[in-house]
Amino acid sequence: MDEERSEGRIGRRRAFVNRLRNYLLTGIIVAAPLTITAYLVASIVNFVDGKVKPWIPARWNPESYVDFPVPGIGVLVAGVGLILLGFLAANIFGRTVLKIGESILARMPLIRTLYAALKQIFETMLSERSRTFRTAGLIEYPRKGLWALVFIATDAKGEISHRLNDEDDAISVFLPTTPNPTSGFLLFVPRREVLVLDMSVEDAAKLVISAGLITPHWRPGRARPPSWPTPGPTARLSGDEVRVPVRGRLIDEPASEQPADEGSLEDHRRRPEPAGSK
């Protein structure tokens, strides 16, 4: 009888400890993202404030009239300044001044190379008409049978496109590293070897940052985008004609719709045959 009571107390004690552990893990899951996000936002705001506030005249600085620091003033002033700069650069006078400044920078050996590269990068990334890094895909890297997640940039152009075989129709992709997606490798891959995914670039970035722990939700039966590839050649399987879809789809070329439940030849082989088909 005493043994049963002691075992019951031990069981209740373990259940209580397990409950506390679950509460602790739940608290960490809730608090950690909020704390890290707040820390990063506060760090960015403090950095911008520290760079901009010294340039604000004392009579226009709200901190001159209160006894406590006002966070975000530098960010607000920087945003207004960038808007005014864009407004001035959009008119004739601003474009003229910008051209004069660029002509001066073009005469400086080292600075002109850095400025031209940075300008082209920001124009490509921030342009509303740009189609770069809007699609995620898979390529076989570093060897056949191993698949790596990539961000599709654009078609290969210039000398690279000329030097490569025209039949390859190469495109440039960015292969990010885990868990830091800001570093990676620039690869030029034949278009036909890129398997384009339906997931957004944001979901693909989450997958890379989390090292595969966060998998975006995907429904196989949902409608595929209009740019899905036109089905490839047909094959015979169990007396029925099935289509073998192309592995990758073209990035900029629209194609006809494909049934949502259509898969590869291997998928059809793995599916059980309906009753009475034999």
The reported pLDDT for the residue numbered 132 is 64
Write phi, then psi, for 210 (nearest 5 degrees): -85, 5
Q: Roughly how many angstroms between the first and final C-alpha of the chain, as a whole number?
A: 66
Of 83-97, 155-169, 185-199, 250-264, the least confident: 250-264
Closest CA to 180 of 144, 146, 208: 208
The reported pLDDT for the residue numbered 3 is 66
Write phi, then psi, for 62 (nearest 5 degrees): -60, -25
Write phi, then psi, for 60 (nearest 5 degrees): -100, -5
The beta-strand segments (E) located in 81-126 are: none
Chain segment 82-132, per-residue pLDDT in tens: 898 888 888 888 888 888 888 888 888 888 888 888 888 777 666 645 556
The reported pLDDT for the residue numbered 112 is 85
Cα gap 134→177, rounded to integer Å: 18
Chain segment 36-53, per-residue pLDDT in tens: 999 999 999 999 988 888
Cα gap 161→172, rounded to integer Å: 10
The reported pLDDT for the residue numbered 167 is 56
Q: Model's pTM, two decimal places?
A: 0.52
